[in-house]
Amino acid sequence: MTAVILVPELLLPGPSADTLRSGAAIAVVESRVAAIDTADALTARFPDAQKIALPDCLVMPGLVNAHQHGRGLSQIQLGYHDDFLETWIAGRRGRGILDSFAITRLAAARMVMHGVTATVHANYSYGTGDYEGELRAQLAAYDAVGLRVSMAVGAMDRGATVYPPHEACFMAGLPDDLRDWIAKPGAKAYAGDAEGTIALMDRLLADYGTHARVRLCYGPAGPQWVSDALWAALARDATDKGLGLQFHALESPAQRDAARELYPEGVFARLEQLGAMGPRTVVAHGVWPSDADMEIMARTGATVVRNPGCNVRMRNGIAPVSRYLAAGVRLAVGTDNCAMQDAEDLLAELRLAGLLAREPDWNGPPPPTTDQLLAMATTNGAVASGFSPDTGTLAPGAAADLIALSLTRTRTPWIEPDMPLMEAVIARAHGTDVRLTMIDGRIVYRDGALVGQDLAEIEAAAVASAQGARRPKDPAARDYAARLRGHLCSHYQGVAARRD
């Protein structure tokens, strides 16, 4: 029996500042929280346990990055400019293919170093033509680092160049050579149709269905990328197998405009009709919801994941967090590998989400409270990732997913004693303040170093992959991709002008 007793200055067992305790220690046996009591009481109960003193530290539930794509090198590091989402996506056509294991392993390492103990890996394809191989490599990367992951099995069957219903018109207006290049057969992004996607899910479930740190869900890319028939098939299979659905929706103004044309009754009304809305539904971004959309999300128990830095950098807009909360919608938070500080610092993104929710309206909805923000990063994230109720709180019998956060930065050189500590932590703490990350009872990061992993080797492998992907196999692809960007800008400018 492996037992560890953590002795911090303060313990926060749940997402409420009211649960903050001093003088409490936590005993972990194997992969579970065994007890919470004084250090002396736990030492008497577990005399052979390793004792780890954590002075000036807060032990709390591990953070959950509820939306990201396993990109361990940021778009800036890879040479992509911050831009509109639609042109950024198209820019990938002018680059080579990254090593999905190397890039994902670095993302996982960076997350655990910043206190993340579980994550949702949203749909993403590197275009190798072997999507299953990409997924398995990414799952192996998370497993190597020890990070819990909910892996979304992606799917899409339309809108590869521009959003419907304008695809045919857009293609017809392109120069012949550019149109021929786009239409040239290439590697399919995902597993194909519904039948192929469901078959892939069955194979993955056979291999990973009992893995303690893996959950699988469907990841239909988003309403503008997925036909009603594909939505219905995946939603039906998800219900039959007890799986979640994780997808992008209403992320950008262009997606909002497409949704209005495609779904005059409302995009979430359509998704509910197709069986895609429920407690296991996770909506990434949701920047442009209507009141009716929020009512459906709240009523069906869906979770919306706020990605504040990404939405600012990609010119998407600011999601109405306060209105979501007022409507009763469950919220979580993610980095989307495009955080404001260009790092996997979920605490900084949580702070940004709270600040951007402070609407300049005396009579408007209140901004999120400290407890609501804490829940976004812990218990609500656990729901989004499919690991609830086993994770998200610290209690006897729960999974031992926790972090120790140094309070030195928060309290130095001075903090007013009357200032509630957790409010100060939300306002001042950084991901780099994490001193220890434990997942499933195993310490994976401590005092600046990964445990059992070589960060320098992980970084070197990711850099080698990026260097090899600087140029596409087809030298002409870079020029074609640059030309395509200009046509996309003209197209979406026209859509916006007609809307206005």
Does some domain include residue 444? no
Mark whether 343 and 217 lie in a shared domain.
yes
With both helix axes pointing from N to C terminus, report the angle between 100-113 and 455-468 in degrees, rounded to the nearest 10: 140
What's the rounded Cα separation, in Å, for the pair 407 and 111?
19
Return the structure tokens found at 498: 């007609």
Does some domain include residue 469? no
Question: Per residue in 289-302, pLDDT tens?
Answer: 999 999 999 999 99
Mark whether 434 and 350 lie in a shared domain.
no
Whole-number pLDDT of residue 142: 98
Does some domain include residue 447? no
Alpha-carbon radius of gyration of the chain: 23
Distances (CA, A) of 70 to 62, 67, 74, 225: 18, 10, 10, 21
Q: Which of 59, 34, 31 is nearest to 46 (CA)?
A: 34
Q: Which of 160, 137, 162, 158 is nearest to 149 (CA)?
A: 137
Mark whether 106 and 171 lie in a shared domain.
yes
Helix (H) or strand (E) holding 449: strand 449-450
Does some domain include residue 488? no
Q: For the chain, what percentages of helix, strand and coil (3-state, to nearest 5) are there?
A: 45, 20, 40
Question: Per residue in 161-208, pLDDT tens?
Answer: 999 999 999 999 999 999 999 988 877 889 999 999 999 999 999 999
Does some domain include residue 448? no
**Which CATH number covers residue 411?**
2.30.40.10
Whole-number pLDDT of residue 398: 98
Q: Do residues 385 and 64 touch, judged by C-beta distance below 8 A?
A: yes
Return the structure tokens found at 162: 């521009």
Does some domain include residue 51? yes
Print the domain residue range for 34.
3-61+402-439
Mark whether 109 and 9 lie in a shared domain.
no
What are the b/e assignments for 64-100, b being 16+ CB within 10 Å? bbbbbbbbbbbbeebebeebbbbbbebbbbbbbbbbb
Q: Do residues 499 and 256 touch, judged by C-beta distance below 8 A?
A: no
Mark whether 166 and 296 lie in a shared domain.
yes
Mark whether 56 and 67 lie in a shared domain.
no
Of 393, 413, 439, the domain-final residue: 439
Whole-number pLDDT of residue 185: 80
What's the rounded Cα separation, in Å, for the pair 186 and 165?
22
Does some domain include residue 484? no
Mark whether 19 and 91 lie in a shared domain.
no
Tracing tokens 């979640």 back to the chain, one arrives at 244
What's the rounded Cα separation, in Å, for the pair 500 and 497?
5
Whole-number pLDDT of residue 235: 98
What's the rounded Cα separation, in Å, for the pair 27 and 29?
7
- Amino acid identity of 448? G
SS3 240: helix
Q: How many structural domains comprise the chain?
A: 2
Q: Do residues 222 and 252 touch, judged by C-beta distance below 8 A?
A: no
Whole-number pLDDT of residue 1: 67
Does some domain include residue 204? yes
Mark whether 336 and 416 lie in a shared domain.
no
- State the sign of the Cα–Cα–Cα–Cα dihedral 21, 25, 31, 32: negative
Q: Do residues 104 and 142 touch, judged by C-beta distance below 8 A?
A: yes
What's the rounded Cα separation, in Å, for the pair 154 and 305?
17
What's the rounded Cα separation, in Å, for the pair 52 and 5?
6
Mark whether 336 and 272 lie in a shared domain.
yes
Summary count for the chain: helices (H), strands (E): 20, 17
* Residues in the chain, pLDDT under 50: none
Q: Do residues 287 and 327 touch, judged by C-beta distance below 8 A?
A: no
What's the rounded Cα separation, in Å, for the pair 485 and 409?
44
Question: Per residue in 131-157, pLDDT tens?
Answer: 999 999 999 999 999 999 999 999 999
What's the rounded Cα separation, in Å, for the pair 333 and 346?
8
Mark whether 57 and 107 lie in a shared domain.
no
**Which CATH number covers residue 108?**
3.20.20.140
What's the rounded Cα separation, in Å, for the pair 423 and 404?
17
What's the rounded Cα separation, in Å, for the pair 179 and 183?
6
Mark whether 109 and 221 lie in a shared domain.
yes
Return the structure tokens found at 434: 């994490």
Mark whether 327 and 413 lie in a shared domain.
no
